[in-house]
């Protein structure tokens, strides 16, 4: 499908050392962290906006699909080149171009790794709040394209809330700048928000200006153990609705705790779920006061609260949460991480439904996640080499999506639709909305060459 | 399995447990140099799967990706699924070799040399019986120290003499660990068994080696009777038999050898020796379990010299960033790697094995 001529032309644009048609490379770039797999015809590593633009122009001429990729940590198949063609790896565009302390802005190339940026910000006492768990490796470009979130999203929001301005190469190869350096702006349509979360389907992001925030100096952490899922849900709802703005409001259900206790040798009181609240801020008194208030609310819902009195105790609480993934991964051969999200008031109901779904399909589902913003991570544990169990796991996933939508939620809070959830897209979105989405896509990408087959499928 | 590969169930389980999260991108030293996914743990495990499922033949490119993994284990520390990458890839190499696939040329040569000469350097046989009578300690220096870092052996001898510990030296045969890592499981086990039985016939109470890889190979056969020079020196000091006559007042950093740290869990003994020496110990950003591979382990510098040298150079640059006078390590391969690299990029930085530092101060 990829002709010799096209490969030569790509080599002319980025240099032969930045083009590979080797099967070994193509196999490794055929996958992300989801179940999807599709081989690209050729892998290219551009280093400048001009090169990205030239590649897209060429792809339009040849009508060859192009799929952008950052670190490939996507959990929904976004960077998997389902129609083959050119896989464009952005990791060589990895420079931090500017850190502006006065305006608290950073200008970066898309291949900069989240951790690399936060390390560079640390000496200035600044940080970029949205904190995907994959931050040690995922790229800022990938985070923008997926509208990534994380534990702190409950207070600070997702990437959507921190992108000020973008340089984007449109699918036709034209280069566009959009957004503003100022906190407020109403100058035209908000195209920045259109591109944030566009999953690499509308343009290739080549420069990103991010808003920064002063790094909070203090934090207070507590854990709370709920006798039932409904009590857990109530406690979360109360803490969130009193304006206590926790910087983390996490949950781990009984199954997750059992796994963590086996894996990390930790002990937990008998309970149906453990909650973790963290409060950050600039004075101890403020942070402590909010924590005390949250403690009262949890106790009123019959939860047993344990406040971390020392930094070591706080780290221990977080160690439990951070062990959730590895602990669950060792329970069964395969795992599927969903991120169905419901309104905060429906968290308890969703947890109960996930339990029912687990029973219905006879697969183990452990749930943890960002309870404060309703972004749960039910982890389906199974053996993908057992076709029957694999099938039941897929059906359970489908029921989880349906439950989230029924409760007024969304298919995905932070991992994106990609390929994995494209089948379910119309559960959440009406035909008029899908028509508008397609029209936008067509307007920007007349030949539908950029990351085709994603979000709404075909 | 179209390619006729047969892997044990526990290795298959590890390979399939990888859910391709990509976290190992932050740790894998070959990926840091090459920059493309196929040089990473994730890429290697994807390729393992493709090989097992018969989607691809084991050609030269794929074999390079698999065999260039130097079993440093850095990926395992960051892996949220706790995949035992080293075991999985070692089993894959073994399965490939067992199925009749020829490993990359340099590896074939190392294999032949070890089988023929009992050491990888092909310089005739090492002496296979203990030199110089009986003693409390049997010192097994390992091939790399014997061939490339003889100064290290002299230092250990000086320490044993200063502590008045009677000892003898056993030069060979090879412990087999490089062969194990290169997929020659059967040969490796035969060698380790042969060496262990030679050691068993000695009356020495302790068997010590400066080489973490030899130690790892011998542990299953000799248990705690075999130990690393650093833990043994530490004991000698505790017992008051080894006394330092002087102290040094320089700044040092310590490079944790992959196998000594991540595989054997020995992090403290070398550091305690450094503190005892009076050196001020400053840690590099990547230390202990997160230490960065020097590139030379398991004779990787003979199999993949360019990659190995680049890894060593990068480690030297990391040590320079910390601003120290001395870079200390506790493994003959690391010592050789870092000394070579320092000669190239940082002549002012002294590189020593912790035994060399202690020997200087004890005599
Ligand atoms: C273990 C694990 C934990 C995770 N935790 C979180 C979490 O806490 N929160 C969260 O939100 N996500 C999480 N993720 C998902 C994922 O890490 C994020 O979506 C991340 O932002 C993706 O970045 P990436 O560089 O890996 O992008 P990739 O996976 O390479 O790509 C993601 C999408 O972005 C597009 N893209 C990439 N670069 C560009 C560009 N320059 N221009 C245009 N499009 C581009 C791709 O086409 C693709 O559709 C997790 C993933 C894993 C495996
Ligand atoms: S960190 Fe572990 S699970 Fe993730 S890609 Fe690497 S080996 Fe696989
Ligand atoms: S053991 Fe080391 S070289 Fe091998 S894949 Fe893991 S990090 Fe890379």
Nearest Cα residue to B305 out of B70, B125, B86: B70
Q: What is the pLDDT of residues A182-208, one digit of tens each?
A: 999 999 999 999 999 999 999 999 999
pLDDT band at B118 (very low <50, low <70, confident <90, very high): confident
Residues with CB under 6 A from ligand 1: A 32-33, 67-75, 78-79, 90, 110, 132-134, 138-139, 141-143, 145-146, 148-150, 199-200, 204-205, 414-415, 451; B 21, 80
Yes or no: is domain B251-362 CATH 3.40.50?
yes
Domain B137-238 classification at class level:
alpha beta
Cβ within 8 Å of residue A238, ≥6 positions away? A297, A298, A300, A301
If DSSP codes are grouped into helix, strand and coil, which group holds residue B256? coil
Q: What is the pLDDT of residues A99-115, one digit of tens each?
A: 999 999 999 999 999 99
Strands A273-281 and A304-307: unpaired
Mean pLDDT value across chain B: 94
Nearest Cα residue to B293 out of B64, B75, B142, B61: B75
Query: Could you tell me the two tokens for A178?
Result: 């959009």
Helix-helix angle A284-300:A229-241, to 10 degrees: 140
Number of H helices and number of E strands within chain B? 19, 8
Taken in order of first residue, the domains within chain A and their CATH numbers are: 96-214 (3.30.465.10), 218-324 (3.30.70.2190), 327-406 (3.30.70.2740)
Task: Please tell me the distance from the alpha carbon of residue A157 to that of residue A50, in angstroms, as a whole number.
Answer: 33
Indicate whether B2 pLDDT > 80.
no
Between A35 and A179, the higher pLDDT residue: A179
If DSSP codes are grouped into helix, strand and coil, which group holds residue A313? helix
b vs e for B193-224, b when ≥16 Cβ sit within 10 Å of the residue's Cβ?
Answer: ebbbebbeebebebbbbbbbbbbbbbbebbee
Between A457 and A347, the higher pLDDT residue: A347
Q: What is the pLDDT of residues A273-288, one digit of tens each?
A: 999 999 999 999 999 9
Task: Please tell me the distance from the alpha carbon of residue A159 to that of residue A95, in angstroms, as a whole number.
Answer: 19
pTM, to two decimals: 0.96
Q: What is the distance in A from the centroid of ligand 2 to the CA of B15?
A: 10
By most ligand atoms within 8 Å of CB, the mutation choice from A114, A138, A167, A335 for ligand 1 is A138
Compute, in degrees rounded to 10, the torsion defined by CA atoms B318, B323, B326, B331. -20
How many CB atoms neighbour CB A217 within 10 A? 12
Q: What is the pLDDT of residues B275-294, one digit of tens each?
A: 999 999 999 999 999 999 99
Q: What angle do CA B153, B68, B78 make, to 5 degrees?
A: 90
Domain ranges (residues) in chain B = 2-103, 137-238, 251-362
Give chain A's radius of gyration (CA, Å): 23
pLDDT at position B1, please? 42
DSSP A381: E
Number of H helices and number of E strands within chain A? 16, 18
Report how far Cα A301 is from the mean position of its chain's Cα atoms.
31
Inter-chain CB proximity B17 and A333 less than 8 Å: yes
Inter-chain CB proximity B16 and A33 less than 8 Å: no
pLDDT band at A326 (very low <50, low <70, confident <90, very high): confident
Domains B2-103 and B251-362 share a fold: no
Altogether, the residues listed in chain B come to a count of 363
DSSP B305: H
Strands A334-337 and A375-382: antiparallel
pLDDT at position A351, please? 94
Yes or no: is domain B2-103 CATH 1.10.1060.10?
yes
Across-strand partners of A177? A167
From the list B22, B55, B80, the residue facing A71 with the nearest CB is B22
Chain A residues touching residue B42 (CB < 8 angstroms)? 28
Chain B residues touching residue A28 (CB < 8 angstroms)? 36-38, 40, 42-43, 46-47
User: Are A255 and A331 within 8 A, CB to CB?
Assistant: no
If DSSP codes are grouped into helix, strand and coil, which group holds residue A246? coil
User: Are B44 and B14 within 8 A, CB to CB?
Assistant: no
Report how far Cα B230 is from the mean position of its chain's Cα atoms.
15
DSSP B262: I
Task: Please tell me the distance from the alpha carbon of residue A239 to that of residue A222, in angstroms, as a whole number.
Answer: 13
Nearest Cα residue to B43 out of A315, A184, A52, A20: A20
Nearest Cα residue to B258 out of B299, B292, B210, B308: B292
Q: Which helix (H) or strand (E) holds B86?
A: helix B85-98
Q: Does A385 touch chain B (CB under 8 A)?
A: yes
| DSSP per position, B306-348 | HHHHHHHHHHHHHHHHHT-SEEEES-HHHHHHHHHHHHHH-TT
Q: What is the mean pLDDT of residues B323-330?
A: 97
Q: What angle do CA B146, B152, B155 make, to 5 degrees?
A: 130
Report how far Cα B130 is from the mean position of its chain's Cα atoms.
24
The alpha carbon of residue B97 is apart from the nearest alpha carbon of chain A, in Å, by 19
- Largest Cα separation within chain B, whole Å, is 65
Q: Which residue of A has its CA nearest to B63?
A: A24
């Amino acid at each position: 499908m990829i002709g010799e001529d096209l490969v030569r032309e790509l080599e002319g644009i980025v240099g032969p050392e930045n083009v590979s048609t080797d099967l070994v490379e193509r196999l490794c770039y055929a996958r992300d962290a989801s179940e999807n797999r599709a081989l690209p015809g050729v892998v290219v590593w551009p280093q400048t906006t001009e090169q990205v633009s030239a590649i897209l122009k060429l792809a339009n001429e040849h009508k060859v699909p192009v799929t952008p990729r950052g670190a490939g940590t996507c959990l929904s198949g976004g960077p998997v080149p389902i129609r083959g063609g050119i896989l464009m790896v952005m990791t060589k565009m990895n420079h931090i171009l500017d850190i502006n302390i006065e305006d608290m802005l950073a200008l970066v190339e898309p291949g900069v790794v989240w951790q690399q940026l936060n390390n560079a910000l640390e000496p200035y006492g600044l940080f970029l709040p949205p904190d995907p768990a994959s931050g040690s490796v995922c790229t800022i470009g990938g985070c923008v394209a997926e509208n990534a979130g994380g534990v702190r999203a409950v207070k600070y929001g997702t990437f959507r809330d921190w992108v000020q301005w973008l340089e984007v190469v449109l699918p036709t190869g034209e280069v566009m700048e959009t957004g503003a350096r100022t906190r407020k702006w109403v100058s035209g349509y908000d195209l920045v928000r259109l591109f944030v979360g566009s999953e690499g389907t509308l343009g290739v992001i080549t420069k990103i200006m991010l808003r920064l925030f002063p790094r909070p100096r203090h934090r207070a952490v507590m854990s709370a153990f709920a006798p039932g899922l409904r009590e857990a849900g109530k406690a979360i709802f109360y803490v969130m609705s009193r304006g206590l703005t926790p910087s983390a409001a996490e949950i781990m259900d009984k199954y997750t705790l059992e796994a963590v206790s086996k894996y990390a040798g930790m002990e937990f009181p008998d309970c149906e779920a453990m909650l973790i609240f963290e409060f950050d801020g600039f004075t101890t008194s403020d942070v402590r006061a909010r924590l005390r208030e949250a403690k009262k609310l949890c106790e009123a819902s019959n939860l047993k609260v344990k406040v971390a009195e020392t930094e070591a105790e706080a780290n221990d609480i977080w160690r439990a949460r951070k062990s959730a993934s590895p602990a669950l991964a060792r329970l069964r051969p395969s795992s599927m991480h969903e991120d169905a999200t419901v309104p905060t008031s429906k968290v308890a109901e969703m947890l109960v439904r996930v339990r029912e779904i687990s029973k219905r399909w006879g697969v183990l589902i452990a749930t943890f996640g960002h309870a404060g913003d309703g972004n749960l991570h039910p982890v389906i544990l199974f053996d993908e080499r057992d076709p029957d169990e694999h099938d039941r796991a897929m059906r359970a996933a489908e029921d989880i999506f349906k439950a989230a939508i029924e409760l007024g939620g969304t298919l995905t809070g932070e991992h994106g639709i990609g390929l994995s959830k494209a089948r379910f897209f119309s559960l959440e979105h009406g035909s008029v909305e899908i028509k508008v989405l397609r029209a936008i896509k067509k307007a920007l990408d007349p030949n539908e060459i950029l990351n085709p087959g994603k979000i709404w499928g075909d | 399995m179209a390619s006729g590969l047969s892997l044990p169930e526990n290795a298959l389980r590890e390979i399939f447990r990888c859910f391709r999260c990509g976290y190992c991108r932050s740790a894998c030293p070959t990926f840091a140099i090459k920059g493309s996914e196929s040089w990473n743990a994730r890429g290697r495990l994807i390729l393992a799967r493709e090989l097992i499922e018969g989607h691809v033949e084991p050609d030269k490119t794929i074999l390079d990706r698999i065999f260039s993994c130097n079993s440093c284990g850095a990926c395992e520390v960051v892996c949220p699924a706790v995949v035992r990458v080293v075991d999985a890839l070692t089993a894959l190499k073994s399965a490939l070799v067992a199925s009749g696939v020829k490993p990359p040329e340099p590896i074939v040569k190392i294999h032949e040399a070890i089988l023929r000469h009992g050491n990888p350097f092909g310089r005739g046989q090492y002496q296979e019986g203990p030199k110089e009578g009986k003693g409390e300690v049997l010192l097994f220096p390992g091939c790399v120290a014997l061939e490339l870092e003889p100064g290290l052996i002299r230092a250990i001898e000086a320490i044993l003499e200063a502590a008045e510990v009677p000892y003898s030296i056993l030069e060979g045969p090879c412990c087999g660990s490089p062969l194990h890592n290169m997929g020659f499981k059967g040969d490796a086990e035969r060698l380790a068994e042969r060496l262990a039985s030679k050691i068993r016939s000695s009356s020495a109470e302790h068997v010590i080696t400066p080489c973490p890889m030899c130690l790892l190979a011998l542990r299953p056969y000799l248990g705690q009777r075999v130990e690393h020079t650093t833990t043994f020196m530490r004991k000698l000091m505790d017992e008051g038999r080894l006394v330092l006559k002087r102290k040094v007042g320089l700044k040092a950093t310590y490079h944790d050898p992959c196998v000594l740290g991540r595989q054997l869990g020995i992090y403290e003994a070398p550091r305690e020796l450094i503190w005892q020496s009076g050196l001020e110990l400053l840690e590099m950003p990547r230390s202990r379990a997160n230490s960065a591979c020097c590139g030379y382990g398991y004779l990787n510098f003979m199999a993949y010299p360019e990659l190995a040298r680049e890894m060593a150079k990068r480690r030297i640059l990391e040590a320079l960033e910390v601003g120290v006078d001395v870079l200390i390590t506790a493994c003959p391969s690391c010592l050789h790697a870092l000394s070579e690299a320092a000669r190239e990029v940082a002549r002012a930085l002294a590189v020593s094995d912790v035994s060399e530092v202690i020997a200087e101060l004890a005599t």
